[in-house]
């Protein structure tokens, strides 16, 4: 068996409704240089049966855990460690790729072989694959981006969809993979570490889909989880801000916008948990950012894109859009 150029690390848990869509989207790329490592977290539905049915069609390794860990970071790290590809990407079982993703990515990486990470735009979709909006990165296109340029923008908000990046495996291992203690912010922390380790390239093409559905709506949390969410966000921001401040490359407006972004994230999460909570204080804090802070927050947080997509998802949900049980065979 030839060595793959790309390892796809996937975590699965009770993925019956969406898993086949994700796997079919990999097959549809028509690239035989791809391996998939799926770590199943003790599913109790037909997930393992679906995975087994793809063994003859994909270079697929299945790791079935006997006990549920509820730790998606550990599953992705396992795939990262076991992978054979020079490059790695993550694919959650409810997300999927769009046609031509790997063709565009390989072409871009061939032009920028020193790049540590490639990012691209993504699409928000609902549980049935209907369009909810676009998810773009606030980054320049057409050139290699220096670490400080990417990290400073990424500090304001995690604008990277989990399934969008393709990154060098040696670089990912070099930064220690995902922090398995950060259930909310591990991906943000990981992208920041990768971005700081070398050049990044960004494709403005929409090449993957991020699904919003009942079990992915992370704002439905308890008061304790919201407090922990804030703690994790502040932990990541403080750690990476300190590294930039050592090099004197973080602007005060960025620091203010990043702090405000945490306030927005946790306040909206609390509001979704208890809709009666007042959110008017956010407006006053926004005004306090000043013009440069307004620009950085609105540009880098992608707040309009993120909130609009979730509002559309909520309208679909409450209007009783039918849930297609056979969605696993449909590629949007």
pLDDT, tens digit, 9 for 90 and up, residues 57-95 = 999 999 999 999 999 999 999 999 999 999 999 999 999
pLDDT at 119: 98
Residue written as token pair 């009942």:
214
Contacts by 45-49, CB closer than 8 A, 24 or more apart: 45/14, 45/15, 45/16, 46/16, 47/12, 47/13, 47/14, 47/15, 47/16, 47/19, 47/93
Structure-model confidence comparison of residues 303 and 243, the more confident one: 303
Q: Quick one: 233 and 130 in the same domain?
A: no
105-140, pLDDT tens digit by residue?
A: 999 999 999 999 999 999 999 999 999 999 999 999
Q: What is the pLDDT of residue 217?
A: 44
Beta strand residue intervals within 28-136, DSSP E: 34-40, 59-64, 87-92, 96-97, 117-125, 131-135
Same structural domain, 205 and 236:
no
Query: How many other C-beta atoms lie within 10 A of the C-beta of residue 1?
Result: 6
Same domain, yes or no: 161 and 101:
yes
Q: What are phi and psi of 261, to 5 degrees?
A: -60, -40
Helix (H) or strand (E) holding 312: helix 303-318
Terminal C-alpha separation, the chain: 31
pLDDT on residue 271: 72
260 and 154 within one domain: no
pLDDT at 332 over 60: no
Please give the Cα distance from 301 to 296 (Å, whole number): 8
211 and 235 assigned to the same domain:
no
pLDDT at 66: 93
Q: Is residue 314 part of a domain?
A: no
The answer to whether 10 and 88 are in contact (CB under 8 A) is no
3-class DSSP state of 296: helix
Contacts of 110 (CB under 8 A, 6+ apart): none
Whether residue 256 sits in one domain with residue 140: no
Question: Could you tell me the CA-to-CA distances from 76 to 55, 73, 177, 200 in Å, in that order?
Answer: 19, 5, 9, 21
Provide the domain count of the chain: 2
Note the pLDDT tens digit of each residue in 189-216. Answer: 999 999 999 999 999 999 999 999 876 5
How distant, in Å, are the alpha carbons of 186, 259, 327 from that of 238?
A: 14, 10, 41
Question: How sure is the predictor about 318, in pLDDT bands with cuts at 50, 70 and 90?
Answer: low
pLDDT attached to residue 133: 97
Domain shared by 289 and 177, yes or no: no
Q: What is the pLDDT of residues 139-163, one digit of tens each?
A: 999 899 999 999 999 999 999 999 9
Residue 239: pLDDT band with limits 50, 70, 90: very high
At residue 95, the pLDDT reads 97
Is 106 part of any domain?
Answer: yes
Full domain range(s) for residue 257: 223-301
Q: Does 154 lie in the same domain as 200?
A: yes
Task: Look at residue 321 and tell me whether its pLDDT is greater than 80.
Answer: no
Look at residue 219 in the predicted model and tell me its pLDDT: 43
Residue 275 pLDDT level (bands cut at 50, 70, 90): low
Q: Is residue 44 part of a domain?
A: yes
Section 293-320 average pLDDT: 85
Provide the pLDDT for residue 330. Answer: 25
Instruction: Tell me the pLDDT band of 242, cut-offs 50, 70 and 90.
Output: confident
**Within 13 Å and on the Cβ side, how many CA atoms surround 174?**
12
CB 100 within 8 A of CB 17: no
CATH number of the domain where residue 159 is located: 3.90.550.10
- In a domain, residue 306? The reply is no
Mean pLDDT across the chain: 90
pLDDT of residue 270: 79
């Amino acid at each position: 068996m030839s060595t793959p150029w790309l390892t796809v690390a996937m975590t699965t848990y009770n993925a019956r409704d969406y898993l086949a869509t994700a796997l079919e989207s990999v097959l549809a790329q028509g690239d035989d240089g791809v391996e998939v490592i799926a770590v199943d977290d003790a599913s109790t539905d037909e997930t393992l049966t679906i995975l087994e049915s793809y063994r003859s069609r994909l270079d697929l390794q299945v790791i079935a855990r006997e006990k549920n860990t509820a730790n998606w970071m550990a599953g992705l790290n396992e795939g990262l460690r076991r992978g054979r590809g020079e490059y790695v990407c993550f694919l959650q079982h409810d997300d999927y790729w769009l046609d031509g993703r790997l063709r565009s990515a390989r072409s871009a990486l061939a032009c920028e072989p020193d790049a540590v990470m490639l990012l691209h735009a993504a699409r928000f979709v609902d549980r049935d694959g209907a369009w909810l909006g676009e998810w773009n990165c606030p980054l320049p296109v057409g050139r290699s981006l220096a670490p400080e340029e990417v990290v400073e923008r990424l500090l304001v908000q995690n604008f990277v969809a989990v399934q969008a990046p393709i990154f060098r495996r040696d670089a990912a291992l070099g930064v220690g993979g995902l922090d398995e203690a950060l259930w909310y912010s591990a991906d943000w922390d990981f992208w920041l570490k990768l971005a700081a380790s070398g050049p990044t390239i960004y494709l403005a093409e929409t090449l993957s889909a991020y699904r919003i559905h009942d079990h992915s709506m992370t704002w439905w949390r308890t008061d304790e989880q919201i407090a922990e969410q804030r703690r994790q966000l502040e932990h990541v921001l403080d750690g990476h801000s300190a590294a930039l401040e050592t090099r004197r490359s973080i602007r005060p407006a960025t620091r203010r916008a990043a702090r405000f972004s945490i306030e927005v994230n946790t306040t909206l999460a609390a509001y979704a948990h208890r809709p009666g909570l007042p959110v008017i204080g956010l407006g006053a804090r926004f005004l306090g950012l000043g013009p440069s802070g307004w620009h950085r927050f609105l540009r880098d947080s992608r707040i309009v894109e993120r909130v609009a997509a979730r509002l559309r998802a909520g309208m679909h949900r409450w209007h009783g859009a039918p849930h297609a049980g056979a969605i696993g065979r449909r590629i949007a």
